[in-house]
Amino acid sequence: MASAAAPAEAFFLDAAPGRRFCLFFPPAGPCRGAVLYVHPFAEEMNRARHMAAVQARALAQQGYGVLLLDLHGCGDSSGDFGDARWDTWKADLALGAAWLRQRLGAPLTLWGLRLGALLALDAVRDAAFPVARVLLWQPVQKGSTYLTQFLRLRTAGAMLDGSGAADAPPSGTDALRSALRAGETLEVAGYDLAPDLAAAIDALAPLEALAPACPALWFEALRGAGQAPPAAAAHAQEAWRQQGVALATHALPCPTFWITPEVDASAAWLEATTAAVCEEVAAHAD
Amino acid sequence: MYLDEVKTILIDVLGLGAAGQRLQADSALLGSLPELDSMAVVSLIGALEEHFGIVVSDDDISASTFETLGSLTDFVAAKLAA
């Protein structure tokens, strides 16, 4: 049975530039592995924060040491969101991975949610630090599509506050992309989006081309019990299998907690993730 | 004709639960549902695009589209008929 978990440890890691806020959930009992959480983008990070913490605690009770690290310019880490860059974020992951290696000396699972999943996969591709497997929660399919949806928050915001008048600043995504290409930093839904970061997200390879060199656990949230996973996800999963990725897929009904926090209804999702993480290690222990 | 499908998607995306079942064609969305913030609007559009296989343009994101459940359903029907 699971031992009582030690309380989470909050601290800062020195990084470049500034420092990163970390929340570490130490493993209860003998350590079975290390997990580094890669949070999603902008406001999705805040909305998913509670679910991430609950999942981290559940994994800690099963013997995993889990590190929740706020990337540069996010959460309680130093820097403004407008200072954030894709490569700095990957360096932050390397920093978190090094800390976990030193603390636990255990194989690392990179656990990414939404755009965090793409960041995790991009980091695995760089191979700057060893990753034993990835755990993907609702991975974003394509960086460029995600960027369009993020820019759309501005269009939607203009509609909601009734400022979509003719003299309002342009809010269509084409105009916003042009502004970014011209080097302008854009404020979207309260977040300053730097042109460099937008360009990096825009240029990301699609999920199907990001097959990792390690085993992968992939969770897709369905809107209802009878729903099939999105065709794009199924397509990418098939591409990965053809490339020989050891892939375990899970699709189950779960509210979109990165948009609408609704934790109670997501217990099945949390339990399925914990079970999959533990099962996979048992299978690989032979 | 698509009202129930749109309503189900709306309930799921906004996390309205049982309370959402009371929504009808003339139920106001914009300004009446606190859950309908900008993230929910973008997510709702994405869910509608995926479910119905339609493409929503920036110009479609207007108050007239999101005024009521009925206006949103009419919008979907018009896209499907186009």
pLDDT digits (tens, 9 = 90+) for A38-57: 999 999 999 999 999 999 99
Predicted local distance difference test score (pLDDT) of residue A166: 46
Q: What is the pLDDT of residue A141?
A: 93
Q: For residue A225, what pLDDT is reported?
A: 74
Q: What is the pLDDT at residue A19? A: 98
Q: In the prediction, which pLDDT does B45 show?
A: 95
Q: Please tell me the predicted confidence (pLDDT) of residue A1.
A: 47
What's the confidence (pLDDT) of residue A17?
Answer: 94
Write the CB contacts of A279 (distance below 8 Å, at least 6 apart in sequence). none
Check residue A127 and report its DSSP letter.
T
What the block records as the tokens of A280 is: 């996979």
Beta sheet of A216-222, edge-to-edge order: A9-14, A19-25, A64-69, A33-38, A108-113, A133-137, A216-222, A247-253
pLDDT, position A149: 93
- For residues B20 and B7, the answer to whether their CB atoms sit within 8 Å is yes
DSSP string, B48-70: HHHHHT----GGG-STTTTSBHH
When pLDDT is cut at 50, 70 and 90, the band that residue A126 belongs to is: very high
Neighbours of A141 (CB within 10 A): 18
Closest Cα in chain B, distance from residue A163 (Å): 10
How far does chain A reach from its first CA to its final CA, in angstroms?
Answer: 21
With both helix axes pointing from N to C terminus, report the angle between B38-52 and B69-81 in degrees, rounded to the nearest 10: 40
Contact A156 B50 (CB under 8 A): no
- Counting Cβ atoms within 10 Å, is residue B28 exposed (0-12), middle (13-18) or buried (19+)? middle
A224 interface with B at CB cutoff 8 Å: yes
Q: How far apart are CA A280 and CA A273, in angstroms?
A: 11
Distance from CA of B81 to the nearest CA of A (A): 23
User: Nearest residue of B to residue A222 by CA position?
Assistant: B12
pLDDT of amino acid B17: 84
Query: Does A229 touch chain B if contact means CB atoms closer than 8 Å?
Result: no
Helix (H, G, I), strand (E, B) or coil at A228: coil
Which among A159, A189, A260 is the nearest to B61, CB-wise?
A159
Interface test with B, best of A160, A220, A264 (most B CBs within 10 A): A160
* CA nearest to A22, candidates A72, A60, A80: A72
Q: Are the C-beta atoms of A89 and A70 separated by less than 8 Å?
A: no
Q: How confident is the model at residue A286 (pLDDT cuts 50, 70, 90)?
A: very low
Q: What is the pLDDT of residues A1-17, one digit of tens each?
A: 455 668 999 999 999 99
Q: What is the mean pLDDT of residues A256-273?
A: 85
Name the average pLDDT for chain A.
92
Look at residue A283 and tell me whether its pLDDT is greater than 70.
no
CA atoms within 13 A on the CB side of A154: 21
How is residue A77 written in tokens?
Answer: 């880490």
> CB–CB of B33/B7 below 8 Å?
no
CA distance A251 to A253: 7
Q: Does A179 touch chain B (CB under 8 A)?
A: no
- Smallest Cα–Cα separation from A197: which of A95, A80, A83, A69? A83
Mean pLDDT of A168-176: 77
Q: Please give the structure tokens belonging to residue A244.
A: 């020989």
A256 to chain B, minimum CA–CA distance in Å?
7
Choice among A32-36, A137-141, A228-232 with the minimum mean pLDDT: A228-232
CA distance A77 to A246: 34
Residues 6+ positions from B42 with CB-CB distance below 8 Å: A149, A152, A153, A156
pTM: 0.93
pLDDT, tens digit, for every residue of A178-214?
999 999 999 999 999 999 999 999 999 999 999 999 9
State residue A4's pLDDT score: 64
- Rounded to whole angstroms, the Cα distance separating B5 from B25 reads 12
